[in-house]
Amino acid sequence: MSIHGTAVIHPSAVIDDGAVIGPDCFIGPFSVVGPEVTLQRGVELKSHAVVTGWTDIGEETTIWPFASVGEVPQDLKFKGERTRLEVGARCRIREGATLNTGTEGGGGVTRVGDDCLLMTGVHIGHDAIVGNRVVMANNVAIAGHCHIGDDVVIGGLSGIHQFVRIGRGAIIGAVTMVTNDVIPYGLVQAPRGELDGLNLVGLKRRGVTRAEITQLRAAFQMLAQGEGTFHDRAERLAEDFDAVHVREISEFILSASDRSFLTPKGAK
């Protein structure tokens, strides 16, 4: 066990041999840290938190009581192979959240980026890749192999089907089941997940110019009502618009995926 001298560890905490505890860490009462865990500088375990498996927790991340971070995947194909979990810096992992390691067949790693807020009861399944500044409200469930882009917001009690990709800056309304890929900056709501527009509030908050938002709205209208197949319309986006955000949507749609796409509500 490697513990830097500035770490504060409650006497009731259990730290296994082999764990690496960085400087300025705080490990609260009755928390458990496994033998292959690395806590980077300033990590805080409030109390009754479990961090186990081959897991790396980034600087200044805070984990609240009864969270389980780094346990084995909930996958019947998992046979004990050595896989890992990586959590970025300054994340907030709230009470009862569960984050699992990867599987050999899925790439071997589950990854959460920097500055994420995972509220009470959030689940991050095996081999999921979560970007930076992602917010997941209470009891969101992310299934295995999902890719969640930067700046995504997912409302409470929502579920994301395995292998689904959610593009950067999208927002998912509460109590929504998402079974297909979501374009960057999309607005999805309704129980079975309907693509109902763009995340205009999020775009404005990130300082996207009015001119680019106008192009995005026109591009979305083309996706909904343009001629040809959805794939054909996506190809034309890059030809007809020069806005960076529109090109990002086009590239996202045209890239490989294991799931089909949510098409705009009312699309032809």
Distance CA 170, CA 155 (A): 11
Distance CA 213, CA 236 (A): 18
Distance CA 78, CA 62 (A): 28
Distance CA 119, CA 172 (A): 15
Distance CA 46, CA 66 (A): 9
Distance CA 92, CA 197 (A): 29
Q: Identify whether 127 is a catalytic site residue.
A: yes
Q: Identify whether 258 is a catalytic site residue.
A: no
The DSSP symbol for 116 reads -
CA 113, 114, 117: angle at the middle one, nearest 5? Answer: 95
Residue with tokens 């794939």: 231
Distance CA 39, CA 2 (A): 10
From the candidates 144, 155, 167, 193, give the one annotated as an active-site residue.
144
Distance CA 130, CA 149 (A): 6
From the candidates 123, 126, 147, 245, give the one annotated as an active-site residue.
126
From the candidates 115, 127, 151, 181, give the one annotated as an active-site residue.
127
Distance CA 263, CA 158 (A): 19
Q: Identify whether 42 is a catalytic site residue.
A: no
Residue with tokens 């928390």: 31
Catalytically active residues, by annotation: 126-127, 144
